[in-house]
Structure 1
Amino acid sequence: MKNVVITGTSRGIGFELAKQFAENGHQVLALSRNTKPLSEFNHKNITLISVDLSVNSDLEKVTDYIKNNWQQVDILINNAGKLINKPFTDLSSDDFLEVYKVNVFAVAEITKLMIPFLQKGSHVVTISSMGGIQGSLKFPGLAAYSSAKGAVITLSELLAEEYKEQQISFNVLALGAVQTEMLEEAFPGYEAPTSATEMANYIFDFSLTGNKYYNGKVLQVSSTNP
């Protein structure tokens, strides 16, 4: 049984991941602003904390829970994401900041707070995008989103090096298009080749076993270009 922290669990991949870990006997700490969907799922292995990841004081609720109940985190999945689809000249500094707060700064902050609870063999998995891969086909309108997803790739590579002596693994999964609510909102009518449940199945397995084979790596998880 693992202690698993997952961000962005109100819908899409994060919601499916929380259910899958819980149903397989693991303890899940599910973090999102909207806790209603998983509350209605009502599984004994899922603890819900309403958190705005862009507000550092909110994250203290997470560390307080872990100190008082778990003392150890085996898996952290940085899944929460923010996407704004606008032409580059329409993107404001506030748009960039909003995207980076969730996709980069919050990843760094929650990871930093989890470090004291991560032990030898722990695995930090950050969900990025094919849009963050150098040389990949890019979607117009995603300057803020894709550049942020590139930033967390570099961040994870650095953390893998910094914490290799503690044998904490940091890996990134760069996902192609997945049929989620976030994708539908950004690209109405677009049909992705992979469902949220299918992708959650892959991430579930990788989170449990991928650190045996990888550290500081970026795996491209896409059957299409991008």
Structure 2
Amino acid sequence: MKSKHIIITGTSRGIGFELVKLFSKLGHKVLALSRNNEPVDNLSLKNVTSFSFDLSNEDDYKKVETFINNEWQHVDILINNAGMLLNKPFAETTISDFAKVYQTNVFGVSEMTRIVLPFMKQNGHILTISSMGGIQGSMKFPGLAAYSSSKGAVITLTELLAEEYKETGPQFNVLALGAVQTEMLEEAFPGYQAPTTALEMAEYVLDFSLNGNKFYNGKVLQVSNSTP
């Protein structure tokens, strides 16, 4: 397989961290973005570039744009994986709480996509990681109003972008994940043991990011075998 240029957000832990290792092992070039870039830097992986990146900092997007311009000139795949979780009773949340969650989970996805789009070809793939909590009609859980509603927002955003770019590409899809054994799951459901590991889900996400846009565009796939 020809080496691809892949950008992944939220790479300091969990699924994003595992994705970086898997893509590197296959020989792809990766730009790994996270507020904490040390976990990836410490791996010293071939073909992986990592720098500190905050989805809420407008100046950081310019760093990504400059990197693509200077090093790659094009991007094949963008995986919007970064997410912020807030587990808090709705009555105790503030407008600032909601703003922080949406800044990462919605506005961050939107802005990263806007920055990367000019560098993508017709067969590029923008894949956003959502949650079963963002699926209309799915089981919902107290305390996750900000998080789950933000995950619903990016599903609709993806559908809209797929329609807007259907003639020119790239393709846009969403994976709505169920329970995966990550630090974020522990924050949402302390003590719950998920049947799927971060590595197992990363393997699925990797395959879908490379091949899913051949079959899907503007679609949300529910990737869940358990509740939560």
- TM-score normalised to structure 1 length: 0.98
Q: Is the contact between residue 6 and residue 76 of structure 1 (CA under 8 Å) also seen in structure 2?
A: yes
**SS class of match (2:216):** coil
Q: Distance between the aligned counterparts of 1:188 and 1:42, measured in 2?
A: 32
- Match 1:80 to one of 75, 79, 82: 82
Q: Partners in 1 of 2:200 and 2:107 — Cα distance?
A: 28
Mapped pair 1:113 → 2:112: no
Question: SS of the residue aligned with 1:69?
Answer: helix
Give the counterpart letter for 2:188 in structure 1: A
1:166 counterpart residue number:
168
1:60 equivalent in structure 2: 62
State TM-score, norm by structure 2. Answer: 0.98
- The residue aligned with 2:29 is 27
Question: Which amino acid is the alignment partner of residue 212 of structure 1?
Answer: K
Overall identity of the aligned pairs, in %: 66
The answer (yes or no) to whether the contact 1:35–1:48 under 8 Å persists in 2 is yes
What do the CA deviations read for 1:86-142 (whole angstroms, capped 9, x no partner)?
111011111100100000000000000001001110000000000000000011110
Matched, 1:191 2:190: no
Q: 2:98 aligns with which of 72, 88, 96?
A: 96
The secondary structure found in structure 2 opposite 1:41 is coil
d(CA) in 2 for partners of 1:44 and 1:223? 34
Q: The residue matched to 1:123 in structure 2 has which SS?
A: strand
- Name the structure 1 match of 2:45: 43
In structure 1, runs of 5+ residues without a counterpart are none
The separation in 1 between residues aligned to 2:171 and 2:38, in whole angstroms, is: 32
Q: CA deviation at 1:149?
A: 0.1
- Distance in 2 (alpha carbons) for counterparts of 1:192 and 1:96: 27
Contact 1:29 1:46 in 2 (8 A): yes
**How many residue pairs were aligned?**
226
Contact 1:49/1:61 (<8 A) preserved: no
State which drifts further: 11-20 or 185-194: 185-194
